């Protein structure tokens, strides 16, 4: 599974999920600020089961092994995941 492929799928074809959901999950903001983010978003691969994020430093933490995108959908659409 590939996060770039997943994001491109989200861009038009994942039911109820938008790129705004992904951005909010990682940064806490549903859209990019006019002057940009003070910190560059980054991705860290780890042993977690679900994607998590640290919104203070704009870091997305993704599981090393993913067999289905259902867990990504669950995390990115939930208000309870992502805010570290």
Residues with catalytic annotation? 56
In angstroms, the CA 29 to CA 71 distance is: 21
Burial level of 47, CB count in 10 A (0-12/13-18/19+)?
exposed
């Amino acid at each position: 599974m590939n996060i770039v492929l997943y994001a491109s799928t989200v861009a038009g074809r994942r039911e109820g999920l938008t790129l705004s959901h992904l951005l909010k999950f990682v940064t806490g903001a549903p859209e990019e600020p006019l002057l940009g983010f003070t910190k560059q978003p980054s991705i860290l691969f780890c042993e977690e089961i679900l994607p998590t994020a640290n919104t203070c430093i704009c870091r997305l933490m993704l599981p090393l092994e993913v067999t289905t995108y259902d867990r990504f959908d669950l995390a990115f659409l939930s208000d309870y995941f992502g805010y570290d």
